[in-house]
Structure 1
Amino acid sequence: MMRTLQDFELPIDGQISLCQINGRVFYTNFDIANLNALTNTLEHHPKIHITRDLLHPTTSGDEGKALFLPVDVSFLKQLTQVYYEQGYIEALHTAASHNQLFISKSSKAILALLKYIRKVRLLINPNLRYSGPSLIGNYSQTRNWLNTTIRYISWHPYCIKVAIVTCDDSVRIFSNDSNSVSPLLKYKLQKHITCVAWRPMSNTEIAVAHENGIIVWNIDPNSLITRPSISNATVLQREDHRPVMSMAWSPKGDKLATVAACDRTIYIWDVELGKTSILKRSGGSGNILIKWSPTGEKLLTCTNSLVFRVWDCRNWECERWTVLNGRVQSACWSNCGTTLLFATDTETIIYGVIVKHDLIFTSDSDTSSNQALPIFDISKVDIDGVIVGGLVQCMESDPKGKLLAVMFQDTDCIAVFNIVRQQGLQLIASSLINGLPEEKPSTISFLQDFEAGACLSIGWSSGRIQYFPVIYTDLPSTENSFISSTLNSCNASIF
């Protein structure tokens, strides 16, 4: 019998989850919450709260036109101006509306042909009928992507540095050095950012995926410039590869893999040379998720249909798998790269599979040892008057492979599980993380270099970044000696 969310305990009404130490979860009122009273492992980490007044308002670029009076210009000059400002489609519409007989008829014929081609493309790929933002909102790992303040969090793999994506299409870099400059990455072509990823084996490079492509920024840590120029970046684009929904660096940092919602093609980029390799298989009209295994031997790609694949990076052959219905919503690898955990957008179940064979779903469970096994039932439950669980929005595992954090689509508590590999793969209820009554979780991410155990960072809808450390005092760390000596006294003084 599968475990359910009834195994969890909720904090007392009015309190928030603060941390977990040696298996015990600590709660407190938000007004007196002081994480440093229990542990100093996060003392030097940046305190982040991005309010709406800190955001840069987006502009259309047409505001200055109101300052000038309209003048009569020649038809050719007007056509050229519309082409450079709004593109060739608007230029054709402008030409078709004029009384230039030959040009007008030719423009109307071209527009009719383009309309017919678009109808054919829509039959092949229905995703093309949706605009970029709405399509990203449907497939994003971020909850309420269209309206939330914080859209993505990415921690540097080797140091205390984090990139925060906000709804104004900016990427803010924060570090543990309070005296250093906090770079702001913003560019006019960098619209509708979906995700960011720090490059392994590098201290300065970060890739930003957006609706129309990828920008790999190179941030000089010694620079005093708060807003780096695009001259410090490499732009990666392909005309039909959009919107870019997910990307993943190889563990060695030599390759960048990207997928797009309206493109079946999977691109493997060599950033320095500007070259690409293509992985393409039928099934689905696009791809929405890609994850490189920690060992670099496997690459998971998920389409927007039943199909998902695991590629062998040694020979680039793939195993084609299918879910029973819907699509894979979120997935993550174990730290050893042999176990895959995933959830679909139609079932309230977390599945697990050992990646060895071709098939994971089969109707004959008695004769198949390589099927995906349902591990945990995350159906909605009522725990002391609070609804928890439901369909998964995002899943993340910590770098040590001991914890799994799950964020749900329409309930507000984040579930943290212990991953146990004794007698098969198991998930054990660990803790529920809740925010303030008016807050909803938007995105989650584990810190990559946290010696004391694991630490989950949560971006709340209010713009607040919360740290939830899971600490084991038996780990060999100087910080843990402080935790052990103050745990009981701090617990008595705070609670």
Structure 2
Amino acid sequence: MRFSVKLEIDYSESDIVTQNKMRNLNDFLLPHKEAVCICEIDGRPYYSEDSYDKISNFTLAVETHPVIHITNDLIHAVSSGEEGRSLFLSVDVPFLKQLTQVYYEHGLIEALHTASTHRHKIISNLAYVTLSVFNIYQRTRLFLNPSLQYKGINTIHEYSQTRNWASHSVRCLAWQPYSCMIAVCTVDDSVRIYTSDNTINYLLRCKQQKNVTCLAWRPHTNGELAVGHEGGIIVWSIDPHSLVVRPSISNAIILYEMNHKPVISLTWSPRGDFLVSAAACDKSIYVWNVELNKNSTLKKPGGSGNVIVKWSPSGDKMFSSTNGIVFRVWDCQTWESEKWMVLAGRVQTACWTNCGTHLLFATSTEPLIYALRVKSGVVFTSDIESSNDQAIPLFDLTKIELDGVCIGGLVQTMEIDPKGNNLAVMFQNTDVIALFNIARKHNIELIASSLITQCGASPTTIAFQQNFEQGACLSIGWSNGKVQHFPIIYTDLSNSLNMSNVNTSMKTSLSYQTFQNL
């Protein structure tokens, strides 16, 4: 088997010189106090003193986008199911029916506990022995690898790409690839799907869908959405032409493997034929054939679980990261992997460029963005000398203060738009989203562009629209329940969107030819 182990990220003398010249957050210009950056047109940010709701004064590009505000009255109260039981008198329920009900509501382990209390000794002893064997297996497994222990929502909170996953109203965003339709997961584990006309909003919700962590639309379909949650995966089928706004669980496929939890990351192959899932407490990465409800596993040493999977846009490579120092790049033809290691912590977030030749990532211990060049036929080779042995630091995100506002620090998540021209970065402990332009000359380069804030709110999750023709559109979920659409528009003077101030902005903006060369 061809397998090359890459060297750890390190700095040579030449790299130290490069690092001294590395761009940093001082390249940004902070808007005036109480001004909100609401869009970017031809490289120039535009601001409003009120809120981003005034965006129609600058562009109509997102006028038909769904208006989303998750208020408290939209959130379903989380119920344990015990409240309603107190209203009914207890009756004698046949044991088999009782066992079936416990299994359906609480799972196999609780069903075995119920069976172990049965008055029939054969049934109770058999259940007791089964529980004992399972407990011995679990203790042995945790003794060999203590980090495999699932710590409930604390595990999800630690590894999720969502900032403050456990507390904020908006947990996940995902745009449908071919239409103006966005899925929004809220804190009550409901997935709401908003359309451009704001008339039909679908609601995906069932009792199996608990502690949702991620969303992924299936390519080449009109309405298949994979929802990763604490116990597995649910793939919902939505008919955009149906008037049924709350599909039942019969419209979904449930994918489940014992010990594959919590599912923390999902990615579809570009052709939509396979779904890949990673779980924080499972060493194995699962590749699912959804229609057949079958899977195969990818398993390599170097961590106790996996927290990120990202299929490259070109379809020939896939990135995966463990909850330790190891991450891998997989060849999707042979499913061989190349192993990389960071110096400390783990890879916190990563994203592919649109051409699939570069991987940008940030770690959980350094405020830096790294770039890793990946080439087919070079990375997957046994000749280590012919391959790159180092990730290149691109941008220094060390926390700074601009006019009393803190920006930067450790990265929570970052996303690249489908055209590959813009990178959005959200931080763990500061409330400003940094937007970069991506330039490609001899090497990839990040150029400071805009800073996005909202008064009195923190960003929780971000996602780029997949089919925004005018350029790029970044959707941002805020802690106050609002979802902001931030358009990044490239236009020429002969085809402007009826904007009176485009002519003056072009003189001070970044050159449009720069974007044409990307």
Task: Give TM-score, length-normalised by structure 2.
Answer: 0.86
Query: Please, which of 444, 454, 457 is the counterpart of residue 439 of structure 1?
Result: 457
Matched position secondary structure for 1:428:
strand
Indicate yes or no: 2:68 matched with 1:48.
yes
Mapped contact 1:125–1:262 kept (Cα < 8 A): no
| In structure 1, C-alpha distance between the alignment counterparts of 2:287 and 2:130, rounded to whole Å | 35
* Residue range with higher mean Cα deviation, 279-288 or 118-127: 118-127
Cα deviation for residue 116 of structure 1 reads: 3.3
| In structure 1, C-alpha distance between the alignment counterparts of 2:416 and 2:322, rounded to whole Å | 21
Structure 1 residues 96 and 380: alpha-carbon distance in aligned structure 2, compared to 1, 3 A threshold: same
Mapped contact 2:44–2:505 kept (Cα < 8 A): no
Query: Please, which of 457, 462, 475 is the counterpart of residue 475 of structure 2?
Result: 457
Structure 1 residues 31 and 420: alpha-carbon distance in aligned structure 2, compared to 1, 3 A threshold: closer
Indicate yes or no: 2:211 matched with 1:207.
no
| In structure 2, C-alpha distance between the alignment counterparts of 1:251 and 1:75, rounded to whole Å | 48
Cα deviation for residue 29 of structure 1 reads: 1.9
Cα deviation for residue 173 of structure 1 reads: 0.7
1:248 corresponding residue in structure 2? 267
Structure 1 residues 225 and 94: alpha-carbon distance in aligned structure 2, compared to 1, 3 A threshold: closer
Cα deviation for residue 385 of structure 1 reads: 1.1
| In structure 2, C-alpha distance between the alignment counterparts of 1:207 and 1:89, rounded to whole Å | 26
2:496 corresponding residue in structure 1? 481
- TM-superposition CA deviations, 1:399-452 (whole Å, max 9, x none): 11111100000100000111111232211111110111x200000011111111
Mapped contact 1:82–1:90 kept (Cα < 8 A): yes
| In structure 2, C-alpha distance between the alignment counterparts of 1:92 and 1:269, rounded to whole Å | 29
- TM-superposition CA deviations, 1:377-408 (whole Å, max 9, x none): 10111111111111110010011111110000
Mapped contact 1:332–1:397 kept (Cα < 8 A): yes
- TM-superposition CA deviations, 1:292-327 (whole Å, max 9, x none): 111101111111111111111122111111111111
1:195 corresponding residue in structure 2? 214
1:268 corresponding residue in structure 2? 287
Matched position secondary structure for 1:203:
coil
Unaligned runs of 5+ in 1: 360-365
Query: Please, which of 381, 391, 402 is the counterpart of residue 372 of structure 1?
Result: 391
Structure 1 residues 475 and 208: alpha-carbon distance in aligned structure 2, compared to 1, 3 A threshold: farther
Q: How does 1:132-281 map to 2 (within 5 A)?
A: 132-179=152-199, 181-281=200-300
| In structure 2, C-alpha distance between the alignment counterparts of 1:270 and 1:84, rounded to whole Å | 25
Cα deviation for residue 12 of structure 1 reads: 1.0
Task: Give TM-score, length-normalised by structure 1.
Answer: 0.90
Query: Please, which of 57, 60, 85 is the counterpart of residue 77 of structure 2?
Result: 57
Matched position secondary structure for 1:454:
strand
Compute the RMSD of aligned alpha carbons: 2.8
Matched position secondary structure for 1:302:
strand
* Aligned residue pairs, count: 482
Matched position secondary structure for 2:236:
strand
Task: Give percent identity, aligned residues only.
Answer: 55
Mapped contact 1:270–1:276 kept (Cα < 8 A): yes
Structure 1 residues 3 and 81: alpha-carbon distance in aligned structure 2, compared to 1, 3 A threshold: closer
| In structure 2, C-alpha distance between the alignment counterparts of 1:88 and 1:447, rounded to whole Å | 40
Mapped contact 1:249–1:292 kept (Cα < 8 A): yes
* One-letter amino acid of the structure 2 residue matched with residue 6 of structure 1: N
1:351 corresponding residue in structure 2? 370
Mapped contact 1:353–1:370 kept (Cα < 8 A): no
Cα deviation for residue 113 of structure 1 reads: 4.5
Mapped contact 1:201–1:253 kept (Cα < 8 A): yes
| In structure 1, C-alpha distance between the alignment counterparts of 2:131 and 2:169, rounded to whole Å | 39
Mapped contact 1:149–1:462 kept (Cα < 8 A): yes
* One-letter amino acid of the structure 2 residue matched with residue 482 of structure 1: L
Cα deviation for residue 89 of structure 1 reads: 3.7
* One-letter amino acid of the structure 1 residue matched with residue 228 of structure 2: A
Indicate yes or no: 2:42 matched with 1:22.
yes
| Bigger relative CO (Cα 8 Å, ≥ 6 apart) | 2
| In structure 1, C-alpha distance between the alignment counterparts of 2:249 and 2:96, rounded to whole Å | 33
Unaligned runs of 5+ in 2: 1-20, 507-518
1:472 corresponding residue in structure 2? 490
* Residue range with higher mean Cα deviation, 372-381 or 112-121: 112-121
* One-letter amino acid of the structure 2 residue matched with residue 3 of structure 1: R
| In structure 1, C-alpha distance between the alignment counterparts of 2:276 and 2:142, rounded to whole Å | 26
